[in-house]
Amino acid sequence: MKLAIHTIKSTRGSKHAHKQVGRGNASGHGNYSGKGNKGQRSRSGGRSGLKVMSFKRLMQSAPKLRGFKSLSKKPAEIYTGNLDKMFSEGEVINLAILKEKNLIPNTAKTVKVVLSGEIKKKLVFEGIKYTAGAKAAIEKAGGEIK
């Protein structure tokens, strides 16, 4: 058989005949048309409002969470005092080396140097963020930021 618009049929079992209600008692769906006796749900348009009401009740009963939680991850922090203790003069510091020495967690994506304690050694920083105070302290010690 040639495939054409007038020869296309729906798959067997994909279409269901709708339930005919309110066509007399002999049909099996007479009198109350399958809706039972009285009440909001037996009336026309009686079911739709119930969903809205229950949703509103759910919304009102949910705890009100205040504030804001950022989706962006905060960088891991490392202090200048710790860098001075853990690294020798002229050493290059980057994310991989800090993870290797267990100064930051392995899951950290970025790191930020924070001024806390003195830094006296000349250190070279690569791909690391820093605070204004930490940058001044690193440059004062003769360090380099790339």
Torsion, Cα 106 95 118 115, to 10 degrees, reads -80
Sequential pLDDT tens for the chain (146 residues) = 789 999 999 999 999 988 899 999 999 999 999 888 998 888 887 777 656 667 788 888 888 888 888 888 899 999 999 998 889 998 999 999 999 999 999 999 999 999 998 899 999 999 999 999 999 999 999 998 88
Domain coordinates of the chain in residue numbers? 76-145
Beta strands in the chain (DSSP E): 76-79, 92-93, 111-114, 124-125, 129-130, 144-145
* Centroid of chain to Cα 92: 36
User: Which class does domain 76-145 fall in?
Assistant: alpha beta
Amino acid at the residue 115: L
pTM across the whole model? 0.52
